[in-house]
Chains A and B, each alone.
Chain A
């Protein structure tokens, strides 16, 4: 992903495509789109990954989570024919030094979350899948999911603080 963002590397993009496009298609079809509709959405999403790459920040995001977010937005825009409201992007500083320890720590937290999801009982897992596929309404999602999200949120928060700090020092220089 970083090769796509920083070097605009098409071979790296093709590799991202080979990994994500089939999963995206499967995912989008599970939430009720036909194969043809799903292909179209996959194309839009992957094109957005290419054009929005500059907004990807590994200090606060994971590639699959970032792709998931773009895919949900696109799917809703098409399904409901309305513009889904998205938060303001935080402007990325032009030059910023990567903080390897933050990136690795976020990766480790994501890994722990993966293990936690894999360790769920089938019934619980199904609830998580339904929730994140958008099959539960906000009235149905009343309970906490039971996933250990606290530590990963604090970690992402540190990534956001770094970004705010970089932006501030950029303005001051």
Chain B
């Protein structure tokens, strides 16, 4: 756990704590915090500031009815859904996005596989499976891409990333991640826009692959 070198940048932690991060990115941040105590502490720090802002807010009277209704509910069962649990190498916020013990993979060719966990107008979050030693297609992106390594490791022009590490892909950045030889690399990746592939074939296939 102490081996994590690449963390969530501070502005994203604050956006997450205040609830203003699109869902796809929030999944990556919550998954990283699940395995990184440094960012868990930073996130808790932001909650404490948020709590302070809440304490300073002008109070609004609540109805007595609601209070008595609530007090009467205390002996009842907990109506909230149970806290999700991790499944193997998948931290709880990732694991709750697929049913069963393993995600459902779809082959993209050359042994590379993906599993789309969630996709909507604000972005998408997916798992990528890259066999050890293989490269991901060379790509840039339109928006921010957040990638969290769950198994194995990869390297690209900006550094080496292993379990728990987060890579921040900025729009102007073009990179070619290569999975290290050894255990196959599994990553969680969130984007707010479609990836831009430079070579023709992946570009033509993009609408079909949904990446």
Give the size range of B's interface with the partner.
35 or more
Cα(A62)–Cα(B79), bound, Å: 24
Could you give, for residues 20-53 of chain B, a 1 whenever the CB lies within 8 Å of some chain A CB and a 0 otherwise? 1111011101110110011011111111111111
Q: State whether B44 touches A65 (Cβ < 8 A).
A: yes
Q: State whether A88 touches B92 (Cβ < 8 A).
A: yes
- Interface flag for B83 (CB, 8 Å): yes
- Interface flag for A121 (CB, 8 Å): no
Residue from A21, A38, A73, A145 whose CB has the most chain B CB atoms within 10 Å = A21
For the residues of A in contact with B, the DSSP-based class is helix
Give the size range of A's interface with the partner.
35 or more
- Interface flag for B70 (CB, 8 Å): yes
Q: State whether A149 touches B69 (Cβ < 8 A).
A: no
Cα(A75)–Cα(B18), bound, Å: 11
Q: State whether B54 touches A68 (Cβ < 8 A).
A: yes
Q: State whether B51 touches A64 (Cβ < 8 A).
A: yes
Cα(A26)–Cα(B58), bound, Å: 6
CB-CB under 8 A for A132 and B70, given A85-B30, A85-B93: no
Could you give, for residues 89-128 of chain B, a 1 whenever the CB lies within 8 Å of some chain A CB and a 0 otherwise? 0011100100000000000000000000000000000000
Q: For chain B residues 64-88, which have a beta carbon within 8 Å of chain A? A: 66-67, 69-71, 73-74, 78-80, 83-86
Cα(A120)–Cα(B122), bound, Å: 34
13 contacts between A and B (CB under 8 A): A23-B55, A48-B80, A51-B78, A51-B80, A52-B80, A60-B44, A61-B47, A64-B52, A66-B51, A68-B53, A76-B19, A136-B15, A157-B41
